[in-house]
Structure 1
């Protein structure tokens, strides 16, 4: 039985991983993905953990009485203007800002800035 040839020599894979300068990994203090399965194993444990992601277009403060009187078609004025970036929260923590876009008749957000919160 013969082994099938490796499509990418392991030296090239290592070089590709080492040259990965993805800002997302650096921004969150993570190492780039590794071709070494032993180094990659800790991150695979969290791949299936659900997180809550929110894209906040804006906020408004409204008295309860006014909120109760609202009807379909009424406008609620937000604290943001058209064209301003939206905030992206993961588990109630601000992680990025972005622009709203339309993707196949659904709304999406293109991330334009990663927010670093120094503790």
Structure 2
């Protein structure tokens, strides 16, 4: 048995304990990588090697399709691309959907990634 474990403590006493509040301060400064994915495409290496300045790569999405917001490689939300107010040289996204954890798992299983 683990040291300090009191096997004499009745189960009812454990249920009477107040719930433990997680200390989120511990994780708030952990850096994560966030990406906004406009779309994707598949092409042979030979075509990739021919790309140069001004080349256009056709993506698998339409202009009106939402973009995916990915955090550490997982889609967490979707949104629309916007030009930032007072900054005509920068883009942002307006979130339109938060992706549920169940959708993460279903997408990972269907793509073969885990």
Q: How does 1:51-90 map to 2 (within 5 A)?
A: 51-90=32-71
* Alpha-carbon distance in 1 for matches of 2:55, 2:32: 32
Q: Distance in 2 between matches of 1:75 and 1:114?
A: 31
Matched with 1:93 is 74
How far off its partner does 1:72 sit?
Answer: 0.7
Q: Aligned residue pairs: how many?
A: 81
Give the 4+ runs in structure 1 shifted more than 4 A: none
Which has the larger Rg? 2
RMSD: 1.5
Task: Find the aligned partners of 1:108 and 1:82 in 2 and give their Cα distance.
Answer: 15
TM-score, with structure 1 as normaliser = 0.64
TM-score by length of 2: 0.66
Between the aligned partners of 1:59 and 1:74, the Cα distance in structure 2 is 15
Aligned to 2:97: 113
In the TM superposition, 1:18-29 aligns within 5 A as: none
Aligned residue for 1:67, secondary structure, equals helix
SS in structure 2 at match of 1:73: coil
Q: Give the CA deviation at 1:61.
A: 0.4
